[in-house]
Amino acid sequence: MGTDRARGAFIPIVLTVATLLGVLEVTAERGANSVPSPASSSWSTSLHEMEAAIARGDLMAAATSSHQVYRAALATRSWEAFLAAGDGALRLGEATQGRDAAEPDARRLFLAALFLARSQHSLDGVLRATEAFVRLGDHEVVAKGLAIARELAGSDPSSQARVREVADRSARAAVAAGERDEEGL
């Protein structure tokens, strides 16, 4: 039990340090006007490496790969990469029995994805980021994401239908979460 508790405290600390190191590295690279190498922007490869490390129980390698996904997201300014980094943070948190500790990092990454998608006028990106907040149970940001999506959808019927689908799924998730909360009382 003590080992589980130590592991649960260790991984959030590693994630926080890795995030800070990533911010420092990217800031230093931008200050030197360097161009990110293709390897540093390969968030997909790093994400697969993280998944493989989690599968084999190598949590340090998983944390390193998660950090690389984050660095690549910063370098590419891609909403897809920020979503992947947020999902990766949650999966790593689940693997270390520390999902609650990973949620704030994931939330920041999902917010970055939402706002990048909005600035890039990507309805798909806004909807996918909004669904990430549905999974977190953050109903306030879900409402804001849906408002952004409605604005991007404009008068296009198929886009409006996609927004309604996400809104319906969000409502069902909120009802299910409320029922679980009532059962727990």
59-82 residue pLDDT tens = 999 999 888 888 988 998 999 999
pTM assigned to the model: 0.74
pLDDT digits (tens, 9 = 90+) for 98-138: 888 899 999 999 999 999 999 999 999 999 999 999 999 99
Q: What is the mean pLDDT of residues 158-175?
A: 93
CB 119 within 8 A of CB 142: no
| CA neighbor of 124 nearest in space, from 172, 158, 76 | 158
pLDDT band at residue 26, thresholds of 50, 70 and 90?
very low
Residue pair 146/163 in contact (Cβ under 8 Å)? The answer is: yes
Helix/strand/coil for 39 = coil
For 18, the token pair is: 């890795």
